[in-house]
Amino acid sequence: MSESLPEHLDPWRAAKSGLSFSGRLALDRLPRVSGAAVGSIEDPKPQVSYRLDFGRDESGLVLVSGKVRARIGLVCQRCLGSLAVDVRAELRVALVRTERAASELVGEYEVLVVEDDSMRPLDLIEDELLLAIPIVPRHAPGACLPPETTVEDGGLAAPADGVPETETGARHPFAVLAALRRESDTLN
């Protein structure tokens, strides 16, 4: 059984009823992912497809499993051109009510603490996609070359007041995300 995705839901009841949600939604409903999508793709209305199944594992733990997928535009870190990337992730997230219960669960699942009886499924979809975005996206080996380096050479491309606004603006969100990813990698 598949239902349309509600803005908020009670995950404990959803697990009890074995609810499943699948479908598509507009990428711009996930502002953190669309903010990281700094390259352009041809699709004017990019979408995210998702499937979320609420249930329990053998030990009775409430579990959300499923998959998320989106095609997003990134900036190739070799040629600085746009690069369309299929970002996909499989998820297995255990839901618990307290930080303490979370700390007692080791390995196997990601853990999400839901302190009241409400969660926003869009947040879960967004988190999973963010984690799946490649840190250093590149075209296939040999498919592109680094841009001409006229700026460093002091050539024509260097404007008086530094790098154009749009260019730094466009790259900034990705730099932040990469920094976050490095941080979480260190923690693991």
**Which chain residues interact with Zn ion by CB under 5 A?**
76, 78-79, 139, 144
Nearest distance in Å: CB 147, Zn ion: 9
- The CB-side HSE value for 142 (13 A sphere, CA atoms) comes to 0
Inter-residue contact 52 to 22 (CB < 8 Å): yes
DSSP 8-65: SB-HHHHHHHT-EEEEEEEGGGSHHHHHH--S--S-SS-EEEEEEEEEE-TT--EEEE
Nearest distance in Å: CB 89, Zn ion: 23
Residue closer to Zn ion (CB basis): 79 or 101 = 79
Return d(Cα 186, Cα 61) in angstroms, integer. Answer: 28
Residue closer to Zn ion (CB basis): 17 or 150 = 150
Nearest distance in Å: CB 122, Zn ion: 31
Residue closer to Zn ion (CB basis): 84 or 114 = 84
Return d(Cα 73, Cα 71) in angstroms, integer. Answer: 7
Nearest distance in Å: CB 172, Zn ion: 19
Nearest distance in Å: CB 13, Zn ion: 47
Residue closer to Zn ion (CB basis): 54 or 174 = 174
Residue closer to Zn ion (CB basis): 102 or 144 = 144
User: For the chain, what's the residue count?
Assistant: 188
